[in-house]
Structure 1
Amino acid sequence: MSREPLRLLAATSNRGKLVELRSLLSDLPIEVLSLADVLPAAPPVVEDGATFLDNALLKVRAGALRSAMVTLAEDSGIEVDALDGRPGVRSARFAREGATDAENNEALLAALADVADDRRRARFRCVMVLLDPRSEAQPVVTEGRCEGWIGRQPRGAGGFGYDPLFVVEGYGRTMAELGETEKNLVSHRGKAAREMRSSLEALVARR
């Protein structure tokens, strides 16, 4: 008799991130539920941390406390060397609070308008945190990075966020031009999820 899948709350309201997480964990006996599925009336978490880890911990603890479910959260963004690491934790609101992806992309291109091609190095970073509220163990933390640079104009129809501007090192294509399998292999979120895999497998085994 097969067990019921582990019900996992993905503490994100970003549909693109949710789709990626479900794809990355699709071969595990895990049902990935969203905040809309589990906590539709919960207020959004104020992401005022100074680092990706700070924000990921804020989200995972709020999700686990409110739902009493095993919770996975992540915080991620893009760091541009010529901008001293910005947008960083403000990636989703680089242009303004509540900015659209297009507005943030336009703001980033404007900020780099006079920056030469050889100084447009950047990376995507993701910090992922897993918390089981029924365990006394500390949250499990993993991180993934993807190196590349910022192009001069958007390319590709896939992905979300800064994907159309981010040219992946070694590929010569933007993240938005990669297929799902390729993106999951090289992306910061894919790398963080693979690092988290053994902890998720251990949780499944204990259920």
Structure 2
Amino acid sequence: MRKIILASNNQGKIKEFNAMLEGVYEVVSMNDMKVEEVPETGRTFVENALTKARNASEQSGLSALADDSGIVVDALGGAPGIYSARYAGNYGDDEANIQKLLKAMQDVNEGKRSARFWCAIVFVESANDPTPVIIQRGWEGEILREKVGENGFGYDPIFYLPTQGCTSAELAPEIKNTISHRALALQDLLAQL
């Protein structure tokens, strides 16, 4: 199996990618390869993912896969968007991020709480790959008023899926890994690769 590096130290993402790529690629993390993170200074999900992929490939010598994803809330003009992981100030503080989003949405009426998880995935053969593969996909839902469910990570407990009748955090991982924004993007990426 070919080894690639996932440009992330987010344990939730690493677990999801390993589950989705099992039998196709051996995925190693940035920690595994002693790769230092690069600042996410892009203005879009694609810019951030491309920066992370090129950095991971350059430092590891491996082909790299990176995603930049987050939640885009219509009533908040697209916020938190690319700042989803650090919305409340500290990177990766899921509980603080959820509470800040719930507070920002407290006066938003039902029917106007639409949102989507958005994912940009980038694959580069090498750090200087002139033709990176770039895939973007969304996953439509609504923001609840309180947390429901224990699975997943990030905003999953407040992201309600009308098509499933539950939150993302109530889905079994094997179901989420076939229908989420990241799953759809990864399926398309694998088809292109």
Is the aligned partner of 1:67 residue 2:60?
yes
Instruction: Tell which structure's C-alpha radius of gyration is larger.
Output: 1
Query: What is the one-letter code of the residue matched to 1:13?
Result: N
Q: Secondary structure at the match of 2:26?
A: strand
Q: Secondary structure at the match of 2:166?
A: coil
Quote the residue 2:149 is aligned against: 156
Pairs within 5 Å for 1:112-131: 112-131=105-124
The number of aligned residues is 193
Distance 2:174 2:138 in 1: 17
* Structure 1 residue 185: Cα displacement: 1.8
Contact kept, 8 Å, 1:76 with 1:125, in 2: the verdict is yes
Q: Where in structure 1 do 4 or more consecutive aligned residues deviate above 4 Å?
A: 134-137
Quote the residue 2:138 is aligned against: 145
Quote the residue 1:15 is aligned against: 11
Is the aligned partner of 1:36 residue 2:31?
yes
The farther-off stretch of 57-66 and 130-139 is 130-139
**Where does the alignment leave 5 or more consecutive residues of structure 1 unmatched?**
201-207
Q: Secondary structure at the match of 1:27?
A: coil
Distance 2:174 2:181 in 1: 13
Q: Secondary structure at the match of 1:97?
A: coil
Q: Cα 1:189–1:99, aligned 2, differ >3 Å: closer, same or farther?
A: closer
Query: What is the one-letter code of the residue matched to 1:37?
Result: D
Distance 1:122 1:191 in 2: 17
* Structure 1 residue 55: Cα displacement: 0.3
* Structure 1 residue 192: Cα displacement: 0.5
TM-score by length of 1: 0.90
Residue deviations 1:115-141, cap 9 Å, x none?
111110000000000001188541100
CA RMSD of aligned residues (A): 1.4
Residue deviations 1:13-44, cap 9 Å, x none?
1000000000111132x1100001012xx432
Quote the residue 1:45 is aligned against: 38
* Structure 1 residue 100: Cα displacement: 0.8
Contact kept, 8 Å, 2:70 with 2:85, in 1: the verdict is yes
* Structure 1 residue 156: Cα displacement: 0.5
Is the aligned partner of 1:189 residue 2:170?
no
Distance 1:159 1:140 in 2: 27
Distance 2:115 2:20 in 1: 24
